[in-house]
């Protein structure tokens, strides 16, 4: 079968991966919507004490406030990146391999940065602390976890995934496997993601602005991948 974006044959050995990648793309969109709703209705705390109190009242909401869903989101990125590599590797195999590795390393960095379960455990210890000294020590430990949560590993994840997305989008422009419009949406998202969300107000603005082009890019590649996966 010929793809409708670029005229390249769909290789049957990759059909299962395309189905997984397409499904994962729509899964990410659903999770993104849920995460936005959660943050809008229940804004996350800004202090260690606030997180400890939230975990004590509602452990699951505490996990959501520390980006539990982003752990799932990043796991879903794996089949998406693999499917993009399979689709466009013949257009620029070396560049696609670099993009794939950067993306996967970035995902691993995110898993290292997320400390939601550690914070949950510390909140239980804080609630059971018998002395003021114990509480002070646990507050210090919690502050260290918050620094890790938005520290080097998180920033590395952000920039590495932005670089991976830019590589994929540039190759998509050349290969036409997903169409030029889709590639331009990917480029827009990648540029906006170059500044991590931790970089003050500028980072927050860029982070929020990147959501729209990323969502459009994900939907468009997801539709194509699902079509390839169902092809005869």
Q: How many domains does the chain have?
A: 1
Query: What pLDDT shows up at residue 198?
Result: 87
Through-space distance between the first and last CA atoms of the chain, rounded to whole angstroms? 7
With a CB cutoff of 8 Å and minimum separation 6, the contacts of 197 are 158, 203, 204, 206, 207
Please give the residue range of the domain that contains residue 215. 12-230
- Neighbouring CB atoms inside 10 A of 148's CB total 17
| Structural domain contains residue 192 | yes
| Structural domain contains residue 7 | no
pLDDT, block means (10 residues), the chain with 232 residues: 49 90 96 93 93 96 95 96 95 95 96 95 93 93 93 93 96 91 96 90 90 95 93 62
Report CA-CA distances (Å) from 32 to 111, 137, 180: 17, 35, 25
- Neighbouring CB atoms inside 10 A of 159's CB total 17
pTM value?
0.89
| Structural domain contains residue 6 | no
- Neighbouring CB atoms inside 10 A of 92's CB total 16
| Structural domain contains residue 149 | yes
Strand intervals (E) in 46-205: none
| Structural domain contains residue 142 | yes
Q: Please give the Cα distance from 176 to 178 (Å, whole number).
A: 5
CB 186 within 8 A of CB 213: yes
Query: What pLDDT shows up at residue 8?
Result: 58
CB 109 within 8 A of CB 156: yes
Query: What pLDDT shows up at residue 13?
Result: 87
Partner residues linked to 152 by β-bridges: none
| Structural domain contains residue 2 | no
CB 103 within 8 A of CB 186: no
| Structural domain contains residue 4 | no
Q: Residue 176: which region, alpha, beta or left (left: phi > 0; alpha: psi -120 to 50)?
A: left
């Amino acid at each position: 079968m010929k793809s409708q974006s670029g005229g390249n044959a769909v290789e049957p050995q990759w059909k299962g991966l395309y189905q997984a990648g397409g499904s994962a793309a729509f899964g990410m969109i659903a999770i993104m919507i849920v995460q936005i709703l959660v943050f809008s209705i229940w804004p996350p705390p800004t202090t260690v004490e606030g997180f400890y109190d939230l975990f004590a009242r509602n452990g699951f909401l505490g996990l959501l406030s520390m980006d539990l869903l982003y752990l799932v989101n990043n796991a879903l990125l794996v089949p998406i990146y693999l499917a993009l590599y399979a689709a466009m590797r013949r257009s620029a195999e070396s560049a696609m391999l670099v993009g794939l590795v950067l993306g996967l390393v970035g995902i691993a960095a995110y898993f290292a940065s997320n400390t939601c379960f550690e914070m949950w455990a510390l909140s239980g210890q804080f609630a059971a602390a018998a002395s003021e000294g114990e509480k002070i020590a646990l507050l210090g430990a919690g502050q260290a976890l918050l620094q890790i949560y938005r520290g080097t590993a998180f920033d590395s994840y952000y920039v590495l995934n932005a670089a991976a997305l830019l590589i994929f989008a540039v190759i998509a422009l050349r290969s036409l496997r997903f169409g030029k419009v889709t590639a331009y949406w990917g480029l827009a998202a990648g540029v906006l993601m170059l500044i991590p969300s931790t970089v003050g107000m500028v980072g927050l603005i860029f982070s929020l602005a990147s959501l729209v082009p990323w969502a459009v890019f994900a939907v468009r590649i997801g539709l194509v991948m699902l079509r390839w996966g169902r092809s005869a």
